[in-house]
Amino acid sequence: MALFVLKELSERIGAELIGDPQLSITGIATLQSASPSDISFLANPKYQKYLSNTNAGAVILSPKVADAFEGNRLICGDPYLAYAALTALFAEPYGGQEHCHPSAVVSDGAEIASTACVMANAVVEAGAVIGEGAVVGAGSVVGRRSIVGVNTCLAANVSVYHDVKIGENCIIHSGAVIGGDGFGFAPSGNGWVKIHQLGGVRIGNRVEIGANTTVDRGALDDTVLGDGVILDNMVQIGHSAELGENTAMAACSGVSGSTKVGANCTIAGGVGIAGHITIVDGVHITAMSMITKSILSPGSYSSGTPFNDTKSWRKNAVRFNQLDKISKRLSLLETQHKMTDAD
């Protein structure tokens, strides 16, 4: 169990400490569930009501609410960011105690750095390179000539195809598939003819890829994820797509082939983005929207309809398929009204 004294934590996040510097902290918890050995934080004003009754041993607060709590406290400008920083101290480490577990299969010609860890029943194929401090999780497979950068961790059962380059300090969660074939087929008189996908995948540094997310390899040009990109679970990235730095995609969203999404975009859950389009930097897309054309101005974009009780929804939904007629009837009525009025 991780154990820190409050002073260490305050120094770690550059906070002012008011209270007992030697207090032992063994965990982080919400204000509502914290015990006296936990540190908590107040970032969202709507939780301030829980401050008075919290059992937390210490609380991280912003200067403007520093006096709202009388116990041990760490004062800093961005408590949420401070909380994020502290979570790293209490996280379960990836990797195990052995360099290469005896059950792992490492091909001749694969390079495993001396501080890397290849876990039980993992497979590293010929020509692959696993960097210092990197972890190949149990049951994961790294294909021929693929590179796993320094300190990058693959959780259990990740599949990395051949010729994929993953940068440093990335996390790839279980079930993710990197470098599978893009969906490319040419129609012919005898059905679909497969277009073998000859491009690779290039993933930058500090990228996180969620569980069961798929990042296809390029058809010809590589698929590219910029530094700091974060992808939630079950995100689909089509072949030869590109995501700019620090762009975030929530669960069950997807980008189709050859589309370029800029930097610092946020794509909410369930969004679908068509192929061969461009989304500029700083675009935000709300949940379950369908983006069918390029977006060339930063801002927030949406599609879809609000929910309703099913009975009301049915009545309104039927009208959707009459909208063009409704619009035309309205125009006609306007014209008629003007004529009548002009009589």
Near a second copy in 39-58, by CB under 8 A: none
Minimum CB distance to a second copy smaller for 67 or for 294: 294
One of 99, 239, 276, 337 is an active-site residue; which one? 239
Contact window for a second copy (CB under 8 A) among 9-17, 54-62, 69-77, 309-317: 309-317
**Largest interatomic CA distance in the chain:** 95
The token pair that represents 113 in the structure block: 């750095």
Q: At what angle do helices 79-90 and 6-13 cross, to 10 degrees?
A: 120
2: left (phi over 0), alpha (psi -120 to 50) or beta: beta
Query: Has 239 been annotated as catalytic?
Result: yes
CA 284 – CA 298 distance, rounded (Å): 8
- Tell me phi and psi for residue 182, to 5 degrees: -65, 165
Question: Which residues 6+ apart lie within 8 Å of 295 measured at CB?
Answer: 277, 278, 279, 280, 283, 301
Minimum CB distance to a second copy smaller for 52 or for 336: 336
313 is an interface residue for a second copy by CB under 8 A: yes
335 is an interface residue for a second copy by CB under 8 A: no
CA of residue 4 relative to chain centroid, distance: 29
Contact window for a second copy (CB under 8 A) among 6-14, 52-60, 67-75, 138-146: 138-146
- The one among 65, 66, 113, 177 contacting a second copy by CB under 8 A: 177
22 is an interface residue for a second copy by CB under 8 A: no
Tell me which amino acid residue 298 is.
P
203 is an interface residue for a second copy by CB under 8 A: no
Q: Give the other-Cβ count within 10 Å of 325's Cβ.
A: 10
Question: Which residues 6+ apart lie within 8 Å of 210 measured at CB?
Answer: 173, 176, 231, 232, 233, 234, 235, 251
Contact window for a second copy (CB under 8 A) among 15-23, 47-55, 64-72, 332-340: 332-340
CA of residue 5 relative to chain centroid, distance: 32
Minimum CB distance to a second copy smaller for 66 or for 198: 198
- The one among 24, 52, 294, 316 contacting a second copy by CB under 8 A: 316
**Residue ranges in 69-108 that form contacts with a second copy under rule CB under 8 A:** 78, 80-81, 83-85, 87-88, 90-92, 96, 101, 103, 105
17 is an interface residue for a second copy by CB under 8 A: no
Catalytic positions: 239
